[in-house]
């Protein structure tokens, strides 16, 4: 796997990452407009410089329960096929350069790979493991 630049963030006391090239912007929380009868994972809609952008509750999307907004919460604006969405995360940590040799692709983890979608792989960062998410699958 190639070397990666990863934006790291926290969800429910676990650390995750996204490839930096997939992240358009990191924002503080802004007021959201609720959408009646929307999917449970949709927190609402926000207005960013005239663009209406859906916000996804990342914890719910990953089956981790309902993430709550706190003072450290951030929105990661990500793009897929020219469309932008916001991912609600508990806290943005840092940007890391991760050598490709430190990333174990999910396909190599045969025990869990068949039941997992939305994960590129797991990076070894010091003594910790960082799950790298696939934005295309999240959206």
CATH number at residue 42: 2.40.50.180
Residues spanned by the domain of 64: 4-138
Which candidate, 2, 6, 130, places its Cα nearest to that of 121?
130
Distance CA 12, CA 44 (A): 20
Q: Comparing C-alpha atoms, which of 73, 74, 87, 90 is closest to residue 134? A: 87
Q: What is the pLDDT of residues 102-129, one digit of tens each?
A: 888 877 655 454 455 678 888 988 888 8
- Percent of the chain clearing pLDDT 70 (strictly above): 92
Q: Give 37-66 pLDDT, tens digit per residue.
A: 888 889 899 999 999 999 999 988 888 877
- What's the domain count of the chain? 1
Closest listed residue to residue 26, CA positions, set 95, 82, 126: 95
Cα–Cα nearest to 90, from 60, 112, 114, 117: 60
Q: How far apart are CA 6 and CA 132, in angstroms?
A: 8
pTM: 0.87
The DSSP 8-state label assigned to residue 33 in this structure reads B
């Amino acid at each position: 796997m190639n070397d990666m630049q990863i934006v790291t963030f926290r969800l429910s006391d676990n650390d995750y990452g996204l490839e930096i090239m997939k992240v358009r912007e990191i924002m503080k929380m802004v007021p959201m407009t609720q959408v009646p009868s929307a999917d449970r994972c949709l927190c609402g809609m926000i207005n960013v410089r005239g663009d209406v952008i859906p916000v996804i509750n990342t914890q719910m999307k990953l089956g981790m329960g309902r993430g709550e907004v706190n003072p450290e919460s951030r929105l990661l604006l990500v793009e897929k096929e020219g469309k932008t969405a916001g991912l609600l995360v508990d806290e943005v940590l840092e940007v890391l350069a991760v050598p490709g040799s430190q990333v174990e692709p999910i396909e190599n983890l045969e025990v869990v790979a068949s039941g997992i979608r939305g994960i590129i792989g797991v990076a070894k960062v010091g003594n910790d493991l960082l799950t790298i998410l696939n934005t295309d699958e999240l959206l």
